[in-house]
Structure formats: structure tokens, C-alpha cells
Amino acid sequence: MEKKECVYEAPLTKREFVDIINRLHEASELVDKVEELFRNSRDNLECDFCNGASLQISHEGIVVNLLEKLMRDKGSDISYFIYELDYGKDYHEGCISDENGNIDFSTPEKLYDYLVKGYLKQTVDKEQKSRGCE
């Protein structure tokens, strides 16, 4: 049986991935600014229920979930980057590592590079078994 050479690509380009992450970040920052305006407004002192979160795209969780599925992010690294590391702003060396050492999640680009390595490894392993690719 002749072995075939297989070519693998991630479902999103780095540019597409980074653009989505940056748009989520911009929406999150807008919500923070609006919430700050509400907190600082003397006219809204009696308005306990007012908050900027109502302006946020309600689909953020769905977008994050879809990104994790598309990128085969079984470790929820995208969620970690967004919610725990505040889009990489709270990253510091050593906050995430694997058997090879530190993993740099300081930018969406570095997150993408890490995810693509895992995605391609999963794809290659699966395809080599099923199709006899080299």
C-alpha cells in the first residue's frame, strides 16, 4: 500500500483567530467603560440594577465555546486566556506550563500558535491511523 502525503490546516487562520479574540476584547473593554460610567454617575446612584453588561454581546460565551471546538481546545486554554489572564494582560512567565516548560499566553497570536500545534498533532495522529498518511 502506497503512503500518501497529507496536508493539514487549522480551521481558522491566525489572522481570523486573532481578529475574533480582539473583537471579544474590545467588546469587553466597552462594557467595562460603560459600567464605570454608571458607577460614577450621580444620577444613577439609585439605579442599582443598571450595568453595562446588558450592552455586551450576549453571544460571547457561544463564540468562546465555538472557538474552543474549532481549535480542538480540550484544555479550555482559550477560556483561560480570556477570563483568567484577561486577554493576556495578566500573563506572567510560569503561570501555565507543560512537560516542555513555560507556555507563553501573553498575546492572541502566541495562544493561536500553541493551539495550532495541538490541533495539528491531534489531526495528524487521527489521520495517519485512518488513512495511512506519512
Q: Is the pLDDT of residue 134 over 70?
A: no
81-131: pLDDT as tens digits: 999 999 999 999 999 998 889 999 999 999 999 999 988 888 777 766 666
Phi/psi of residue 101, nearest 5 degrees = 115, -155
Position 123 scores a pLDDT of 76
Rounded to an integer, the average pLDDT of 51-58 is 54
Q: Are 107 and 88 in contact (CB under 8 A)?
A: yes
Q: At 46, is the pLDDT very low, low, confident or very high (cuts 50, 70, 90)?
A: low
Share of the chain above pLDDT 70, in %: 75
Whole-number mean pLDDT of the chain? Answer: 82
On the 0-12 / 13-18 / 19+ scale of CB atoms within 10 A, 41 is exposed
pTM reported for the whole predicted model: 0.75
